């Protein structure tokens, strides 16, 4: 009798353990008992994170939680999600929750009144961003001027060692009157000087890793240098485009024809390298592609998820560039800078005011924008570089 009771007890314990384990598995997978209908319903989950954290999360206008958070046991449907924090832009979007799946939301919120810091104080003429987006070179006039390098990856410390003098002005060469052309590896830059007729009279090659150097004039070999650089750019662009669908390659506008130079010919006017010869601008992680189609509309192709998006039409559009996280774009318009998600939603203003020549670039870590502006200076003074802190 005792042995029989032990067997019954063991079987009952095993059944209870099995039921508890099954219930735990169903619970973790999002199955939710509905006691009214007597059914077990499948649910989904939203995993919401934001920079900065501590933002309020609303589902269908109901405050649910604060980031970073997991919101579970949600009925599968489309929710109106809003994420907001005092002093920052508001993020909102319709998000579909599917049964048994986790829907991830990663949100960037930008300060409504960002801190603005000067990076230069004596002017920054004709600044140029390197292809790797890590360096800016610019000219400064005067006896103590020259061509300077600003490293974008460094924390901005005004008037400290975040800038480097690459070469001093010379009697015949004032770098504030030069234009700058980066090589494809961002390690060299050509300072081009022109006369009153816009004819090139000198081309000084400068290494970006050397301070106070003596640049050499490469006018005699300029064509060979530019041709070599363009060939390197073309080869990389073609390699990047290899795996893309043919319809994406064919959709780009016809504004990407390379300039051709004969090896015996010198360019007589400012020559611009074509950094995007295929018309395709890849995101930093190379999973998304920005391009303008033949109808003049900006498009995004997500090669990972095989989706295509059309950006809204913007009035007074100056330029569109990638934000470092590959999930946003920097939209530069007249006197306005916004950051928008790659699906065309959540267009958030980060700067409103005057800036020069459309010069607005995001730092490689995404924590700041660099702009060229006179800001509070008088109109007769040269524009300077400023940092707009986004975190």
Give, for all 391 residues of the chain, the pLDDT tens digit: 556 666 666 666 666 665 555 555 554 555 555 545 555 578 899 999 999 999 999 999 999 999 999 999 899 999 999 999 999 999 999 999 999 899 999 999 999 999 999 999 899 999 999 999 899 999 999 888 999 999 987 554 444 447 899 999 999 999 999 999 999 999 999 999 998 888 889 999 999 999 999 999 999 999 999 999 999 999 999 999 998 999 898 888 644 434 443 333 344 345 678 999 999 999 999 999 999 998 989 999 999 999 999 999 998 899 999 999 999 999 999 999 999 999 999 999 999 998 887 899 998 889 999 999 988 666 678 899 999 999 8
Q: What is the pLDDT of residue 14?
A: 64
Those residues with Cβ within 8 angstroms of residue 124's Cβ, 6 or more apart along the chain or in another chain: 138, 139, 140, 148, 372, 382, 383, 384, 385
Q: What is the pLDDT of residue 264?
A: 34
Q: What is the pLDDT of residue 225?
A: 95
Tokens of 174: 């004032």
Tokens of 82: 């809003």
User: What global pTM score does this model have?
Assistant: 0.85
Q: What does the buried/exposed string (b/e) look like for 244-276 if buried means 16 or more CB atoms within 10 Å of the residue's CB?
A: eeeebeebbeeeeeeeebeeeeebeeebebbeb
């Amino acid at each position: 009798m005792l042995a029989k009771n032990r067997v019954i007890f063991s079987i009952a314990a095993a059944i209870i353990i099995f039921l508890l384990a099954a219930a735990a598995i169903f619970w973790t997978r999002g199955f939710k008992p509905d006691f009214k209908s007597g059914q077990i319903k499948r649910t989904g989950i939203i995993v919401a994170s934001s920079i900065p954290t501590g933002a309020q999360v609303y589902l269908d206008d109901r405050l649910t939680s604060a980031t970073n958070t997991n919101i579970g046991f949600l009925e599968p449907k489309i929710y109106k999600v809003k994420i907001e924090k005092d002093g920052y832009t508001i993020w909102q979007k319709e998000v579909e929750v599917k049964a048994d799946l986790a829907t991830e939301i990663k949100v960037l919120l930008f300060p409504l009144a960002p801190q603005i810091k000067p990076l230069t104080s004596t002017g920054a003429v004709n600044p140029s961003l390197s292809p790797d987006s890590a360096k800016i070179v610019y000219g400064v006039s005067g006896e103590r001027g020259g061509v300077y390098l600003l490293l974008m990856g460094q924390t901005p410390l005004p008037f400290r060692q975040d800038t480097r003098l690459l070469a001093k002005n010379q009697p015949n060469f004032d770098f504030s009157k030069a234009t700058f052309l980066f090589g494809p590896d961002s390690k060299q830059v050509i300072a081009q000087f022109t006369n009153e007729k816009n004819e090139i009279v000198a081309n000084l090659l400068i290494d970006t890793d050397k301070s106070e150097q003596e640049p050499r004039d490469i006018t005699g070999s300029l064509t060979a240098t530019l041709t070599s650089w363009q060939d390197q750019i073309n080869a990389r662009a073609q390699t990047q485009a290899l795996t893309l669908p043919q319809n994406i390659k064919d959709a780009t506008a016809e504004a990407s024809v390379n300039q051709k130079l004969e090896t015996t010919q010198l360019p007589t006017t400012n020559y611009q390298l074509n950094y995007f010869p295929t018309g395709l601008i890849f995101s930093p992680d190379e999973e998304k592609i920005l391009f303008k189609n033949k109808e003049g509309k900006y498009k995004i192709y997500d090669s990972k998820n095989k989706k295509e998006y059309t950006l809204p039409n913007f009035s007074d559009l100056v330029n569109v560039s990638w934000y470092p996280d590959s999930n946003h774009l920097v939209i530069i318009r007249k006197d306005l800078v916004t950051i928008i998600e790659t699906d065309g939603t959540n267009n958030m203003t980060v700067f409103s005011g005057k800036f020069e020549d459309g010069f607005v670039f995001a730092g490689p870590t995404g924590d700041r924008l660099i702009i060229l502006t006179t800001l509070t200076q008088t109109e007769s003074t040269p524009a300077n570089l400023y940092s707009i802190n986004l975190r």
